[in-house]
Amino acid sequence: MTRETDGLLIVGEALCQELMDRPAAFDAVQSVFAAMASGEARNFPVIREALGHADALYGFKSGFDRAGLTLGLKSGGYWPGNMAKGLTNHQSTVFLFDPDTGQLSALVGGNYLTALRTAASSAVSIAHLARKDAKVLGMIGAGHQSTFQLRAAAEQRRFEKVVALNRNPERLNRLATVAAELGLEFEAVTPEGLGAEADVIITIVSAYEPLLMQEWIKPGTHIACMGTDTKGKQEVDPALVAAATVFTDEIAQSVSIGEAQHAVIAGLIGADQITPLGEVINGTHPGRRSDEEITLFDGTGVGLQDLAVASAAAKLAEAAGKATRVTL
Ligand code: NAD
């Protein structure tokens, strides 16, 4: 005799936006980084393919977290023509499965959660690696992710000011608006000016060349490189990566598709000089060792982050009695 399933929980984009907040995303991402570092959670190989249709890139990121009992995948990609249709170019959905039975347990909208988990990732790095007295936050990039990054980072230290730059300076208005909302002074600056002032820097652009050079950075700065998630992309000087103590979400991705790829190709650093941020969270690595040390977090984005926030959203939706349940 077969047992009835508990049913499939459906948590759409609107519900994710209503119920998931930054602290919940921070906790979910911090826990899964810790589980990855202790060997309890692992990401499976990523599939990413050009469809040859609608210029779309499509793929899956999947994994299993034995500590959080989260199994599943994020499916989605990039459809460049979506903007003209009034839709977001990046589209994704998370599928969660019961790890005891393999049954599909939840479908969760992944668009809002992707921005939330990416911002949570740099926020976790700031919480564990930035100097406690950091006052100035530097932002490079003013695209879709940037305001999520700014809001999450602002909660980690007592920042007083945001300095920012973007290829199209007119787009900095969106960051200036959020900074004002958070009660932070805001200034548009040159790259050299940003390096000279910022105590914490977040890079979140789609660039293929270094925008930040080693000689512009102050001792003691923490940098979170969040935009480089593909072979060939680049945000900072490889010499800066080599001069920093480098942390990452996952070493295999850091050296192949993350910011560290360029320093590794140039022979400036090896994979053995990169530490999973989870080790700092778990207390098996001390993290920052001095006020002068430059720390750099290479946030490449892993499937387990998506599963962690989707699982948290599904639990919140269920507890609030707001998710749709479908019997399979
Ligand atoms: P977006 O298209 O909304 O904004 C892109 C930003 O990059 C803008 O600030 C733009 O001015 C800048 N930019 C583009 N090309 C540039 C160039 N050649 N030189 C300098 N600046 C350039 O994108 P978004 O959704 O804000 O995402 C930003 C980046 O973050 C993308 O590269 C995206 O792939 C990456 N991302 C990473 C993760 C992760 O987990 N690490 C997650 C989501 C997105």
Q: Which residues pair with 249 in a beta bridge?
A: none
Question: Ligand 1 atom closest to Cα of 167?
Answer: 11
Phi, psi of 162 (to 5 degrees): -115, 130
pLDDT at 323: 87
Q: Collapsing DSSP states into helix, strand and coil, what is residue 110? A: coil
pLDDT at 4: 53
Residue nearest to atom 28 of ligand 1 (CA): 205
pLDDT at 3 over 60: no
* 102-144 pLDDT tens trace: 999 999 999 999 999 999 999 999 999 999 999 999 999 999 9
Confidence of residue 213 (pLDDT cuts 50, 70, 90): very high
> What is the distance between the alpha carbons of residues 56 and 80, in angstroms, rounded to a whole number?
7
pLDDT at 1 over 60: no
Percent of the chain having pLDDT more than 70? 98
Q: Is the pTM of this model over 0.85?
A: yes
Give the residue from 310, 261, 263, 252 showing the smallest Cα distance to 108.
310
pLDDT at 60: 95
Centroid of ligand 1 to alpha carbon of 145 (angstroms): 7
Domains of the chain (ranges, CATH numbers):
4-114+304-326 (3.30.1780.10), 127-302 (3.40.50.720)
CA–CA–CA angle 85, 75, 88 (5° rounding): 20
Centroid of ligand 1 to alpha carbon of 298 (angstroms): 15
Question: Ligand 1 atom closest to Cα of 90?
Answer: 25
Q: Ligand 1 pocket, 170 CB below 6 A?
A: no
* 249-271 pLDDT tens trace: 999 999 999 999 999 999 999 99
Instruction: Tell me how far the alpha carbon of residue 195 is from its chain's centroid.
Output: 22
Question: Ligand 1 atom closest to Cα of 302?
Answer: 40
Centroid of ligand 1 to alpha carbon of 229 (angstroms): 10
Q: In testing the pocket of ligand 1, which one of 32, 122, 145 has its CB within 8 Å of the most ligand atoms?
A: 145
